[in-house]
């Protein structure tokens, strides 16, 4: 009982708020802008926001922060909803900042009436210049002194489409000398004639983030508005708007965004990878997007577990990819169907096997006692991995070599008698004799071997394509790497290999999770068909032999 998990700092705040009776229940929100696909960094935020609500008995809204029609699209809205659902979360309400455009406009009018906002005719460059720098205070302009009446009329004219794009903006009148740059008369509205995916052409002025986000939170009665660290300087403005408008006081809290080794986590960079063809699409299995990871074979549960393990804090961080891999292996180990697939084959001929063929049985998952077995055809001609035979075995090599014995998984123990090479000196065929009394499950041979190999009966084998993925980038910390991030793209992040699979694989469902014995975890690609099976490697198995060899 005393080993309850310690609370993160946001959970501390909420549990205090609740204990103090500040709220009866909490309401959080996940507020993506529909301008791209969600990635693992968003998953952290989703798990946080929905997790908080679940933990404290509250609710979470899904809100699209769609205030910039130039970049947004319904395609993204749909993918975001799909991803959140797939991750296993249900939102209380589906909201859109654009649903509040009328209300937001009314809020702006209130600020103008209070003398706290004005229409500025300056160009973007002039405004930037007048803002000063972090160490030099900004300077005002004459527009700042316009009368309330004039501002009211001009703002109405802006809305009515009387001005060209960029001709005027609405600004808050706060403090041009503030040490916080965001308080130096921030822009509230800009004129932009762009077709909005929901409001169409009804508006030609759109609110800025700072004027839309906090008020949207307030309108929905969000109690805890959680965002990432870069919004810390915005908080003063967030609070200012709410206070001046006298509306429901939502509060903003910030945590550190997720960074991961060997990948990038910004929509801009991910978009670049897609547009420049470094990957196939947003859901390319090498992408850190939710859709990419789903296609690669990650389970929603393993992603939730990952988000749970990385924790929530305010310091910058970079999480090892190995933690994500650990989470998915741990889950997949429990649920994946075991199958045998040979990727780089050499022929194994059993010289004393005269039964022609027989059907053997192999367990689907040794971790699951109720997992059952499947039929695996066996014959005197098999495929085995090229790397499972060594002409001159080294000391700790437990596999096949002249005179050596191994077990064929779920079948018999075989002993190598001879082998053949082609003209180039490559091994082509290995001849073995099998031990009839060593049959799996009824072994009376008394023999003990160190190695067990996976195999596929040659005449029953089904050809499949395997996408073997590796990390997208060659360096751990892209943020610390100098120059263009694209210089560090791993050119070998995808290897397509043709492999021989046991026939059971062609009868398995599309959603099945597989472990190809001794190879890794695989998941059928979205483009896979019955006649052309394609599997994506989610993650390899841990390979202590490979490590041993490197020594």
Partner RNA sequence: UGCCUGAUUGUGUAACGGUAGCACGACUGUUUUUGGUGCAGUUUGUCUUGGUUCGAAUCCAGGUCAGGCAACCA
Q: Which two tokens stand for residue 34?
A: 């529909």
Size of the site for RNA (CB under 7 A): 91
Q: Kindly tell me which residue out of 57, 140, 161, 233 binds RNA, with binding defined by CB under 7 A.
A: 233
Give yes or no: 267 in active site: yes
Among 443, 465, 481, 490, indicate the residue that binds RNA (CB under 7 A): 443
Radius of gyration of the chain (CA): 31
Find the angle CA(130)-CA(113)-CA(162) to the nearest 5 degrees: 70
User: What character string, x for contact with RNA (CB under 7 A) and - otherwise, covers 128-157?
Assistant: x--x-xxx----------------------
> What burial letters (b/e) apply to 493-528, b meaning 16+ CB within 10 Å?
bbeeeebbbbbbbeeeeeeebbbbbbbbbbbbbeeb
Of residues 489 through 518, those in contact with RNA by CB under 7 A are 515, 517-518
Instruction: Provide, rounded to whole angstroms, the least separation between the CB of residue 420 and RNA.
Output: 22
Tell whether residue 272 is a contact of RNA (CB under 7 A). Answer: no
Residue 274: other Cβ atoms inside 10 A:
19
Stretch that binds RNA, among 109-117, 490-498, 506-514, 539-547 (CB under 7 A): 539-547
Q: Which of 257, 347, 386, 518 is catalytic?
A: 257
Footprint on residues 376-415 left by RNA (CB under 7 A): 396-399, 407, 409-410
Q: Which residues pair with 59 in a beta bridge?
A: 27
When the beta carbons of 205 and 242 are compared against RNA, the nearer one is 205
CB of 14 to RNA, least distance (A): 12
Active site residue 33: yes
Per CB under 7 A, the segment of 75-83, 116-124, 346-354, 422-430 that binds RNA is 116-124
Contact 497, 468 (CB under 8 A): yes
Q: How far is CA 342 from the centre of its chain?
A: 30
Rounded to whole angstroms, how far apart are CA atoms 40 and 61?
19
Residue among 318, 340, 348, 362 nearest 461 (CA)? 340
| Among the listed residues 29, 146, 173, 190, the single contact to RNA using CB under 7 A | 190
Residue 518 known to be catalytic: no
Contact 132, 184 (CB under 8 A): yes
Binder of RNA out of 13, 323, 349, 427 (CB under 7 A)? 323
Residue 122 near RNA by CB under 7 A: yes
For residue 106, give both structure tokens.
């009314």
Please identify, using beta-carbon distances, which residue of 284 and 303 lies nearer to RNA: 303
The tokens describing 94, both together, are 């589906």
Q: Which of 352, 306, 359 is nearest to 328 (CA)?
A: 306
In angstroms, the CA 227 to CA 382 distance is 57
Between 7 and 280, name the residue whose CB sits nearer to RNA. 7
- Report how far residue 464's alpha carbon sits from residue 339's, in angstroms, rounded to the nearest whole number: 13
Applying CB under 7 A, among 22, 78, 93, 123 the residue interacting with RNA is 123
Check binding of 197 to RNA (CB under 7 A): no
Nearer to RNA, 2 or 135 (CB): 135
Among 106, 156, 160, 229, binds RNA (CB under 7 A): 229
Cβ-based nearer residue to RNA, 272 or 333: 333
φ/ψ of 357, rounded to 5, equals -160, 165
Helices (H), 390-518: none
Between residues 93 and 309, which has the closer beta carbon with respect to RNA?
A: 309
- Give CA–CA dist 241/187, Å, rounded: 12
Angle separating helix axes 101-113 and 148-159, nearest 10 degrees: 160
Among 13, 109, 148, 232, binds RNA (CB under 7 A): 232
Determine if 447 is a binding residue for RNA (CB under 7 A).
no
Taking CB under 7 A as the rule, does residue 90 contact RNA?
Answer: no
Helix segments in 20-95, DSSP class H: 40-56, 74-86
The answer to whether 65 contacts RNA (rule: CB under 7 A) is yes
Catalytic residue set = 33, 257, 267
């Amino acid at each position: 009982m005393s080993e309850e998990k310690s609370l993160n700092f946001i959970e501390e705040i909420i549990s205090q708020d609740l204990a103090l009776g500040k709220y009866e229940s909490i309401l959080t929100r996940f507020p993506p802008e529909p301008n791209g696909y969600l990635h693992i960094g968003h998953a952290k935020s989703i798990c946080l926001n929905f997790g908080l609500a679940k933990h404290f008995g509250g609710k979470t809204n899904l809100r699209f922060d769609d205030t910039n029609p130039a970049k947004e699209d319904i395609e993204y809205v749909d993918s975001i909803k799909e991803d959140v659902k797939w991750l296993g979360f249900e939102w209380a309400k589906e909201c859109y900042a654009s649903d509040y455009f009328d209300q937001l406009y009314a809020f702006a009018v209130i600020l103008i009436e209070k003398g706290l906002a004005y229409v500025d005719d300056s160009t973007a460059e002039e405004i930037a210049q007048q803002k000063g720098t972090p160490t030099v205070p900004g300077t005002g302009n004459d527009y700042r002194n316009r009368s309330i009446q004039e501002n009211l009329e001009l703002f109405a004219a802006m809305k009515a489409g009387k001005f060209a794009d960029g001709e005027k903006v609405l600004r808050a009148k706060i403090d041009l000398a503030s040490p916080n740059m965001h308080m130096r008369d921030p822009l509230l509205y800009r004129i932009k004639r762009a077709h909005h995916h929901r409001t169409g052409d009804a508006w030609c002025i759109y609110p800025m983030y700072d004027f839309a986000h906090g008020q949207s939170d307030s309108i929905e009665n969000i109690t805890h508005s959680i965002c990432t660290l870069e919004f810390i300087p915005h908080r003063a403005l967030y609070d200012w708007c709410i206070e001046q408008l006298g509306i429901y006081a939502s509060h903003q809290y910030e945590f550190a965004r997720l960074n991961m080794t060997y990948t990038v986590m910004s929509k801009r960079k991910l978009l670049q990878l897609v547009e420049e063809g470094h990957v196939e699409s947003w859901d390319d299995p090498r992408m850190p997007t939710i859709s990419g990871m789903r296609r690669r074979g990650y389970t929603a549960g393993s992603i939730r577990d990952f988000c749970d393990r990385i924790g929530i804090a305010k310091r910058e961080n970079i999480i090892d990819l190995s933690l994500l891999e650990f989470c998915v292996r741990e889950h997949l180990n429990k649920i994946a169907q075991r199958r045998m697939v040979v990727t780089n084959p050499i022929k194994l001929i059993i010289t004393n096997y005269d039964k022609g063929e027989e059907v053997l049985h192999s367990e689907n998952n040794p971790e699951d006692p109720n997992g059952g077995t499947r039929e695996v055809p066996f014959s005197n001609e098999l495929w085995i991995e090229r790397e499972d035979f060594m002409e001159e075995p080294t000391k700790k090599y437990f596999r096949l070599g002249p005179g050596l014995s191994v077990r064929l998984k779920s079948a018999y123990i075989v002993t190598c008698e001879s082998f053949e090479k082609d003209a180039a000196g490559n091994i082509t065929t290995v001849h073995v004799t099998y031990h009839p009394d060593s049959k799996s499950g009824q072994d009376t041979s008394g023999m003990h071997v160190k190695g067990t190999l996976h195999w596929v009966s040659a005449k029953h084998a089904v050809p499949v394509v395997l996408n073997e993925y590796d990390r997208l980038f060659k360096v751990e910390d892209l943020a610390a790497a100098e120059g263009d991030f694209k210089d560090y793209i791993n050119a070998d992040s995808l290897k397509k290999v043709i492999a021989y699979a046991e026939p059971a694989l062609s009868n398995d469902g599309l959603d099945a999770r597989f472990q190809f014995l001794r190879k890794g975890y695989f998941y059928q690609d979205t483009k896979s068909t019955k006649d052309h099976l394609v599997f994506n490697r989610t993650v390899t198995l841990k390979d202590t032999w490979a490590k041993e060899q490197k020594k």
